[in-house]
Structure 1
Amino acid sequence: MTENTPATGTAWLDPADDAPELTEELADVAEISIGGKVIRPATGYLGPNGVVKGRPPLRDRAKQQVTLRIDPDVLAKFREGGPGWQGRINAALRVAVGF
């Protein structure tokens, strides 16, 4: 017969423990729904530092998504700098065309 052993692994954590604290500011912009029916739509969104009212402002010209083939060594060089490599490529292209 086998012997009973205690369960192994980590203890269960309540996912609500990671939820942000419900503040007045958050409640003011949150969507309210009852039974799946939206009573009041959201009027803001959660930004990195808390609640931000409305949609983030667009620049004077929104960027356009394109597909571009770049030599692997050139791409590797831009990626060496870490996050933001797409923006660095954009800045280099602006310099190349004279902006």
Structure 2
Amino acid sequence: RLEMFGIHVPRYALVNREVPYQQLDYFIEEEDFVEIHGMRFWKPFVEKPIDGDNHSIMIYYPSSAGGGMKELFRKRTSLFQETWLATGPVSSIQRLEG
């Protein structure tokens, strides 16, 4: 919608899985990139659910940086302060739901 008003947005693509773990013919994952509808996104990149209330943010790393993925979560210490923290070790699994 921002684009309709001439506001620049980062390059993005949408992946919609109707059911968890659904195989999609327009989504390809390789070691250092994903391809969505023919658009290639080289790692590192950030993945965010389209739902603005879902703050499950994933950062995917290239093999040259050790590969894998880290999930960030939001820790709310007060109504006015938020801290983003990485969870656990780096994983190599893509999000397969949502």
Which bin holds the TM-score, normalised by the shorter protein? Answer: under 0.3
Rg larger in structure: 1
Structure with the larger strand share? 2
Structure with the larger helix share? 1
Give me the TM-score of the superposition, normalised by structure 2: 0.20
